[in-house]
Chain A
Amino acid sequence: MSVQSKAAEQFARQLLKLSVVDGSVSPSQVAGVLEYVEAHKPANAVMVLNAYKRLVSAELSRSAAIIEHAGPISDAIQKSIAATLTAKFKRTITTTVKSNPDLLAGIRVRLGDDIFESSLSSQLTSLAENV
């Protein structure tokens, strides 16, 4: 990593800290940060904004779970998953659902880097690996 990109990364991290309120990214804070960057034009502004975008995107993905499912999924289950994740990670987590027939049966919840999976497809894969 070059000296410039290291400095840009560090600056972007500071900007991210300013954008997070109560454990989640605040749109108004982000707008404020962007205004500040536009007004002050820091060195390597493009590099800073790219790093900032990546960090904000990672932060957002930590608070927005994607529920992939095969077969029907009720609103109650969706709400229950959101409540469980919110309690587990101690921050508000929103959920979106997405159909994925490759799972065969069951669900897969993707939250940031983590995947929580209880699907027939993963169990068959694990069975194949163990046999």
Chain B
Amino acid sequence: MSTVLEQIEQQIAKLSAKAVRKNTGTIRTLADGVAKIDGLSDVMYNEMVQFPGGAIGIALNLEENEVGCVILGDVSQLKEGDEVKTTGKLLSVPVGKALLGRAVDALGQPIDGKGPIDAKETYPVEKIAPGIIERKSVTQPLLTGIMAIDSMIPIGRGQRELIIGDRGTGKTTIAVDTIINQAKINKVGLASGDPKFRPVYSIYVAIGQKNSNIVRTIAALENAGALEYTIIVAAPAADNAANQYIAPYSGASMGEWFMENNMDSLIVYDDLSKHAVAYRQISLILKRPSGREAYPGDVFYLHSRLLERSARLDGKGSLTALPIIETLAGDVSAYIPTNVISITDGQIFLETDLFNQGIRPAVSVGLSVSRVGSAAQLKATKQVAGKLKGELAQFRELAAFSQFGSDLDAKTKSQLDRGARVVELFKQPAFDPISIELQVVTLWAMQKGYYENLTISKVMSAAASLRTFMTTRHDTLLTKIRTKAAVDAEIEAELKTACDSWQSTFSA
């Protein structure tokens, strides 16, 4: 009772306080979601300003005579001469576990029709990235469930790994597969009751995408049971450029909450090419000087300050980033792709040719790299897939060379045959990530030649059959591989027995 009375008294004290000072301005011009405002002499850079009708703006250009603001929300009711007020606050979004399973807009407001979000905290959208003292090296794996990536281009928690490729090469699918795999791992880990288990929560930021595509992604996550561990931040193509510009920063703030609170999180920016385009639009309307491809001079900083926020913190959690960039005709030397390649810790390059040949995921082994992930790769994966990247690269070279002639020596033929089998083995359907223990089994069988007597077209079905066999009959062995995370003599012996037994049934 006394607490209630105290609250009322505090409110009365607030009401009887002295006069409140507000700084105001008037809209001079308004175009494409950007307002030029007279006045606002006390406004701070990046401060939230209040427009009539509840619309919010951010002060981006503080000039001698006017203030340039981007408006987030409905601008249709605003007109020249309207009064604008400063708020003294930086733009903030709700953060926390209450957002999991929800789809929100760039300001963190729900758009999924599931009611209000009961978030207790808010984080500023723009935040300085953690410094070098707070950071820790990447040593823990973040498993994507995609064999080609986990074995050859491993990703660690806190890493920034770019997914780059032309349109329709499966970039979003890789990101969604990774989110689904985190959910699968979370379910197994949380059910095991292991106190050391650290779940990974995911944030999917859709920038400038078609609403139908966003709905499809949400449906895929929901069908896979991954939505409950995921936050969707949507700034679709129909949203104004300001919302598309701010959405990745909002998502990063939501991810930072997990990182700061000793949890691990994964954020997907789909995609940063459209983000750069939205920022270019804003900058041109704000009359900022334009540079190469009409992008403003600070387009590098736009992405570097965003991606630098992903880190693994000492004594806290991590935020792993999977930014996506769309290239035109495979041109990785364009302005935005080169910028983001140089900021990230590696890239997964997807090739249209491979995709059209039916090699999916269409990961280009030669152009893809993970700069820090190998330190985070599990010992078991290293044991079974340590040399695969080199072998595959050699295979591609030999395959190209062998097109010129038919007389090949036995060694080259065997290398080509093995390479073709590995390529076939890495083919994987969308939205069906494979657990790490099954990946180890599949690759171990490859290493030991269990697929060598099969025709190449049957390798994929044989591997799938082996995985089904192991899941149904050797669950204990799989658990052992998962917990030990290495292939020792005992596991190797058991694997041999299991694979021999599978081979007899499969051949039969």
Interface on A for B, CB 8 Å cutoff?
1, 9, 54, 58, 109, 112-118, 122-123, 126-127, 130
Contacts and interface: CB of A to CB of B under 8 A. Distances in A.
A116 B19 contact: yes
Contacts of B20: 116-118, 122, 126
B438 interface: no
Contact of A117 (B11, B22, B40, B64): B22
Interface of B: 11, 14-15, 18-25, 38-42, 64-65, 85, 287
Contacts of A117: 19-20, 22
B18 A113 contact: no
Contacts of A123: 15
Nearest to A107: B19
A118 B19 contact: yes
A113 B41 contact: yes
A115 B287 contact: no
Contacts of A54: 38
Contact of B23 (A1, A114, A118, A127): A114
Q: Which of B18, B21, B65 lies at the interface centre, i.e. has the most chain A CB atoms within 10 A of its CB?
A: B65
B15 A113 contact: no
Given A117-B20, A130-B11, 13 more contacts: A113-B23, A113-B24, A113-B39, A113-B41, A114-B21, A114-B22, A115-B22, A116-B21, A118-B18, A118-B20, A126-B15, A126-B20, A127-B11
A116 to B, nearest CB: 5
A115 B24 CA distance: 7
Of listed A1, A113, A116, A118, residue having the most chain B CB within 10 A: A113
A106 to B, nearest CB: 9
B506 to A, nearest CB: 68
The list of the 6 closest CB pairs from A to B, nearest first, reads A118-B19, A113-B39, A116-B19, A115-B22, A113-B41, A123-B15
Given A1-B287, A9-B65, A115 B21 contact: yes
Contacts of A116: 19-21
B41 A112 contact: yes
Contacts of B24: 113-115
Contacts of B23: 113-115
A84 B52 CA distance: 30
A123 B15 CA distance: 6
Contact of B40 (A9, A113, A126, A127): A113
B248 to A, nearest CB: 28
Nearest to A122: B20
Contacts of B287: 1
Contacts of B38: 54, 58
A114 B83 CA distance: 12
Nearest to A12: B65
A3 to B, nearest CB: 13
